Each structure stands twice: as structure tokens, then as C-alpha cells.
């Protein structure tokens, strides 16, 4: 029976922290983005995020994004500097090709900083990909 269950592998969907200028607050902020590098759109994207370490746990945030078009991205949330001192987990669930996909992304504490910035394709800004 177990051998008959197909568990699809999530590919070409990423979470990235992008370091960008905030015109409203006149400062640079870290924003989490979901990136769809697939050739087809993803639908009903649900993103659950939280920060944690051995002693501290943030509130769990839930975001729903109806459709993320093929080869595009959507902003998920602003991440405050205090939260970046913790492990930041993003659990992503979405539909594509009539299947349900899920994947866990993690930014380990201390890894989201200016020293680790790289160019993020599609978004065309500097940031950091989650593991």
C-alpha cells in the first residue's frame, strides 16, 4: 500500500530574503519572497513562517498567495532585524500540475546578513536563498 503513494518532489520554487530599500521608512529592510522558477504557475500557495531558537519562539505567521505566475515572484513578508537573530523557517505548500507539493525552507540564525548577499534571479535584487 505505501508503495502506491506518490509524494511529489517540490522543485524550482524557492524562498529568498531580499535586502531592499523601503521608500516608506527610508531604510533598507529584509523581505521574504516566494520565487516560482517553474515553467508553469503555482496555485493556492500557503506559507507558514516562524522564528525560533532554544529559548525563544515567535508567533506563527500564515500567508496565502492565490497564484504565483511562472518565472515570477511575490513578496511574502517584512522580516524584522530582531527575528533574523533566530532560525527562520518557511513551510510552503502549493498546487501545481494537479498535485499538492510542500517544502520546508530554513534560514539558520546568523546567516541573513549583508556578508552573504548574492544576486537573486527573477527578483533582480541582492538577497539570500533559504536552504
Which residues of the chain have a pLDDT value below 70? 1-4
Distance, CA of 123 to CA of 76 (rounded, Å): 13
pLDDT reported for residue 2 = 64
Distance, CA of 19 to CA of 77 (rounded, Å): 12
pLDDT reported for residue 123 = 93
CA atoms within 13 A on the CB side of 17: 29
Distance, CA of 58 to CA of 34 (rounded, Å): 20
Q: Which residues pair with 13 in a beta bridge?
A: 36
pLDDT reported for residue 106 = 97
Amino acid at each position: 500500500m505505501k508503495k502506491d503513494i506518490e509524494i511529489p518532489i517540490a522543485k524550482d520554487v524557492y524562498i529568498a530574503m531580499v535586502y531592499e530599500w523601503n521608500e516608506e521608512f527610508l531604510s533598507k529592510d529584509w523581505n521574504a519572497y516566494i520565487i516560482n522558477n517553474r515553467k508553469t504557475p503555482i496555485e493556492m500557495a500557503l506559507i507558514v513562517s516562524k522564528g525560533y531558537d532554544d529559548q525563544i519562539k515567535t508567533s506563527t505567521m500564515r500567508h496565502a498567495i492565490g497564484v504565483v505566475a511562472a518565472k515570477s515572484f511575490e513578496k511574502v513578508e517584512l522580516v524584522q532585524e530582531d527575528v533574523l537573530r533566530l532560525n527562520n523557517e518557511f513551510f510552503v505548500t502549493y498546487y501545481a500540475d494537479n498535485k499538492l507539493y510542500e517544502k520546508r525552507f530554513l534560514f539558520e540564525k546568523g546567516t541573513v546578513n549583508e556578508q552573504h548577499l548574492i544576486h537573486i534571479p527573477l527578483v533582480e535584487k541582492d538577497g539570500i536563498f533559504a536552504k
